[in-house]
């Protein structure tokens, strides 16, 4: 499975191509919002989400039956930015399950800023 092509299709909200990556009985869990989706529901949620999106896969870890990706996802106008960690279980080179953790990008909380610890990664 070409994970970068999968993410390209997700970001382009390309319903037809996205569907081709999944097993018929696959499911998707978005843990941060406590949501469980069928493939159809996941594609609907993704493709009907407002805005024009872009992003890049920043990290990939592969083993025999699981892929782990960290992807920076953002609106093209840069008004919203997220990092998503995805755990992708494969069966016959198709997604059997997708467990994702979405995090809003932003600065350190005030209490840590006041401690004057840490520094920006980038």
Mean pLDDT computed over 49-59: 95
Residues β-bridged to residue 66:
89
Which of 87, 81, 79 has the alpha carbon at shortest distance from 122?
81
Average pLDDT for the chain: 95
Asked whether 28 and 39 are in contact (CB, 8 A), the reply is yes
Classify residue 30 as exposed, middle or buried by CB count within 10 Å of its CB (0-12, 13-18, 19+).
Answer: middle
Does the predicted model carry a pTM greater than 0.75?
yes
Confidence at 120, pLDDT banded by 50, 70, 90: confident
Q: The tokens of 28 are what?
A: 């998707």
Q: Give the neighbor-by-neighbor strand order of the sheet with 53-62.
A: 35-38, 22-30, 94-104, 81-91, 66-75, 53-62
Residue 64 has what pLDDT? 80
Give the model confidence (pLDDT) of 59-115 as tens digits.
999 988 899 999 999 999 999 999 999 999 999 999 999 999 999 999 889 999 999
Secondary structure string (H, E, C) spanning 3-27? HHHHHHHHHCCCHHHHHCCEEEEEE
CATH number of this structure's domain 3-115, picked from the four choices 3.90.420.10, 3.20.20.70, 3.10.450.50, 3.30.70.2660 = 3.10.450.50
């Amino acid at each position: 499975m070409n994970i970068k092509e999968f993410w390209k299709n997700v970001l382009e909200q390309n319903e037809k191509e996205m569907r081709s990556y999944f097993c018929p009985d696959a499911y998707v869990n978005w843990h941060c919002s406590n949501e469980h989706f069928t493939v159809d529901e996941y594609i609907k949620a993704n493709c009907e989400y407002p805005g024009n999106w872009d992003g890049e896969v920043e990290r990939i870890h592969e083993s025999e039956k699981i892929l782990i990706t960290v992807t920076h996802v953002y609106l093209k106008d840069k008004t919203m930015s997220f990092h998503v960690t995805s755990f992708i279980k494969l069966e016959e080179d198709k997604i059997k399950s997708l467990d994702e953790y979405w995090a809003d990008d932003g600065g350190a909380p005030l209490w840590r800023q006041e401690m004057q610890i840490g520094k920006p990664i980038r």
